[in-house]
C-alpha cells in the first residue's frame, strides 16, 4: 500500500487517468490513445461497443474461475459450463492484453485494470431461477471467491506482459449503495432484495483487496459512496464523479484524505461537451479542499483527475480530448493548488 504518512501513491502527484470504457471496437486504437495520453496512470480500456462479453458484466464474467455465464433476454445468467459469450469475452480480453503489451514496451509505473466488484456482480448476475445472486448469501460467497481467483490470475497475466508496471486493480461498484440500502429490485420488480450487512459487504471487498496483492481502487458513479466502509476494506483509492457529492459526504471524504486514501475525482464530462479551460474544470476540487480545511499542499498528491464516468458514449475525438484535458487539469492542480 502507499506510504500513508506522506500521502504518496504509486502514480505520483498531479496524475490523471480514465474510468475504464472507450468508444469504438478497435483495441489497438483504444490502447494507443490511452497510453499516449496518460503518462502517470494509464489503464486497460474496455470497449463495450463490441457487444455482449465486452460489456462490464460480461467481461468480468469471463474472468471468473469455475463459474460461467451466458446471456438471457433478462441479462447475464450463471451457467454450468463456458458457452459462446464466455469464449468471446476471453478472446476479446486476449486481444486487449496483446494491444496493451504492444504499446507499453519499456513502461515503468502505475497501470490500472478494471473488473466489476463482487456486489455489483452479485446484483447483476442471475442464478438459474432468474433471481440475481444477491438473493442468495451462499451464491454471493461463491461469486466473491471465484472473482478473487479470477482477478488474481488476470493481474498476474498483466504483470507478466508489462513487467515494469505496478498494477492497480479498479473494482467497479455502481450498485454498492443500492446493495447497502436494500434497493436492488427482484426479478418481478415488485419487491427489493434485503440490504446486505455492512460487515459482510466490507469483508467481500477485503477479500478482493487481499487477492489483488497490490493497490485497489473502487469506482462508483452512484450517489452516497460509502467512503468509510471502503477505507476499512483497505482500498488505496476511491473513484467518484464530483457532480454527485453532497455535503453529507464531506466529513467522510476529509477523513479518507487524512488517512491517506487517494481520491480519483471525475471532474471532466464523460460525453461530448464543451470543455472549459483546464483550471476551470477543477475549480470545484479546489473549493472542496477549502471547505474541508485540508492543506493545499496535499491536493495534487491526494487527487487523480478523471472523466466523470467511462467514455464509451463519447465520440473518439472527444474521448481523446477529454483525456488530454484531464492531464492538463491535474497539472493545474499541481502547479496552483490554491
The answer to whether the CB of 18 falls within 8 A of the CB of 306 is yes
Q: Is it the case that residue 294 has pLDDT exceeding 50?
A: yes
β pairing state of 68-72 and 75-79: antiparallel
Query: Among 6-15, 112-121, 166-175, 205-214, which is the least confidently predicted range?
Result: 6-15
Query: Among 84-88, 186-190, 269-273, which is the least confidently predicted range?
Result: 186-190
Predicted confidence at residue 71, as pLDDT, reads 93
Burial class (CB in 10 A: 0-12, 13-18, 19+), 63: buried
Instruction: Share the mean pLDDT of the chain.
Output: 93
Bigger pLDDT: 9 vs 63: 63
Burial class (CB in 10 A: 0-12, 13-18, 19+), 157: middle
| Segment (H or E) for 238 | strand 237-241
Considering the chain, what percentage of its residues have pLDDT values greater than 90? 85
Residue 314 has phi, psi (to 5 degrees) of -95, 165
Q: Is it the case that residue 162 has pLDDT exceeding 90?
A: yes
Closest CA to 22 of 43, 1, 7: 43
Tell me the average pLDDT across 105-129: 96
The answer to whether the CB of 220 falls within 8 A of the CB of 174 is yes
Taking residue 160's Cβ as centre, other Cβ atoms within 10 Å add up to 10
Considering the chain, what percentage of its residues have pLDDT values greater than 70? 98
The answer to whether the CB of 217 falls within 8 A of the CB of 239 is yes
Residue 157 has phi, psi (to 5 degrees) of -65, -40
Beta bridge partners of 192: 185
Sheet (strand 262-268) strand order? 109-116, 165-172, 216-219, 237-241, 262-268, 303-307
Dist. CA 62–CA 89, nearest whole Å? 5
Tell me the average pLDDT across 264-268: 95
Domain ranges, ordered by start, for the chain: 25-235, 257-337
Cβ-Cβ contacts under 8 Å for 213 (sequence gap 6 or more)? 152, 155
C-alpha separations of 258 from 42, 138, 178, 309 in Å: 26, 36, 27, 25
Predicted confidence at residue 6, as pLDDT, reads 44
Closest CA to 308 of 222, 211, 210, 184: 222
Distance of CA 321 to the CA centre of its chain: 21
Per-residue pLDDT band at 2 (split at 50, 70, 90): very low
Cβ-Cβ contacts under 8 Å for 163 (sequence gap 6 or more)? none
309-319 pLDDT, tens digit each: 999 999 999 99
Tell me the average pLDDT across 197-202: 97
Q: Is it the case that residue 245 has pLDDT exceeding 90?
A: no
Tell me the average pLDDT across 111-125: 97
121-137 pLDDT, tens digit each: 999 999 998 999 999 99
Closest CA to 271 of 322, 306, 305: 322
Predicted confidence at residue 7, as pLDDT, reads 52
25-235 topology per CATH = TIM Barrel (3.20.20)
Tell me the average pLDDT across 262-267: 96
Block residue for cell numbers 480530448: 321
Per-residue pLDDT band at 336 (split at 50, 70, 90): confident
Predicted confidence at residue 5, as pLDDT, reads 36
Q: What's the whole-model pTM score?
A: 0.95
Tell me the average pLDDT across 95-105: 97
Q: Which three cell numbers stand for residue 185?
A: 429490485
Taking residue 162's Cβ as centre, other Cβ atoms within 10 Å add up to 24
Tell me the average pLDDT across 55-81: 94
Tell me the average pLDDT across 194-202: 96
Dist. CA 58–CA 104, nearest whole Å? 26
Amino acid at each position: 500500500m502507499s506510504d500513508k504518512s506522506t500521502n504518496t501513491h504509486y502514480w505520483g502527484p498531479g496524475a490523471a487517468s480514465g474510468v475504464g470504457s472507450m468508444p469504438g471496437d478497435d483495441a489497438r486504437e483504444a490502447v494507443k490513445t490511452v497510453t499516449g495520453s496518460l503518462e502517470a496512470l494509464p489503464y486497460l480500456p474496455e470497449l463495450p461497443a463490441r457487444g455482449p462479453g465486452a460489456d462490464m458484466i460480461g467481461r468480468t464474467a469471463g474472468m471468473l474461475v469455475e463459474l460461467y455465464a451466458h446471456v438471457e433476454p433478462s441479462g447475464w445468467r450463471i451457467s454450468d459450463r463456458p458457452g459462446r459469450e464466455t469464449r468471446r469475452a476471453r478472446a476479446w480480453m486476449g486481444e486487449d492484453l496483446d494491444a496493451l503489451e504492444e504499446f507499453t514496451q519499456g513502461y515503468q509505473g502505475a497501470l490500472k485494470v478494471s473488473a466489476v466488484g463482487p456486489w455489483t456482480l452479485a446484483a447483476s448476475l442471475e442464478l438459474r431461477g432468474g433471481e440475481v445472486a444477491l438473493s442468495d448469501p451462499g451464491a454471493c460467497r461463491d461469486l466473491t471467491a471465484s472473482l478473487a481467483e479470477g482477478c488474481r490470475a488476470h493481474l498476474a497475466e498483466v504483470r507478466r506482459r508489462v513487467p515494469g508496471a505496478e498494477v492497480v486493480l479498479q473494482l467497479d461498484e455502481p450498485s454498492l449503495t443500492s446493495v447497502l440500502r436494500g434497493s436492488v429490485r427482484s426479478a418481478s420488480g415488485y419487491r427489493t432484495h434485503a440490504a446486505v450487512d455492512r460487515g459482510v459487504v466490507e469483508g467481500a471487498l477485503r477479500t478482493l483487496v487481499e487477492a489483488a496483492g497490490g493497490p485497489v481502487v473502487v469506482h462508483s458513479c452512484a450517489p452516497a459512496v460509502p467512503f468509510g466502509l471502503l477505507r476499512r476494506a483497505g482500498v488505496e483509492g476511491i473513484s467518484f464523479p464530483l457532480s454527485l457529492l453532497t455535503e453529507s459526504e464531506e466529513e467522510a471524504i476529509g477523513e479518507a484524505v487524512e488517512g491517506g486514501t487517494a481520491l480519483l475525482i471525475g471532474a471532466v464530462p464523460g460525453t461530448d461537451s464543451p470543455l472549459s479551460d483546464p483550471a476551470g474544470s477543477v475549480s470545484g476540487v479546489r473549493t472542496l479542499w477549502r471547505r474541508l480545511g485540508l492543506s493545499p499542499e496535499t491536493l495534487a498528491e491526494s487527487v487523480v483527475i478523471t472523466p466523470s464516468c467511462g467514455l464509451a458514449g463519447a465520440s473518439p475525438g472527444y474521448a481523446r480530448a477529454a483525456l488530454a484535458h484531464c492531464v492538463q487539469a491535474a497539472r493545474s492542480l499541481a502547479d496552483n493548488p490554491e
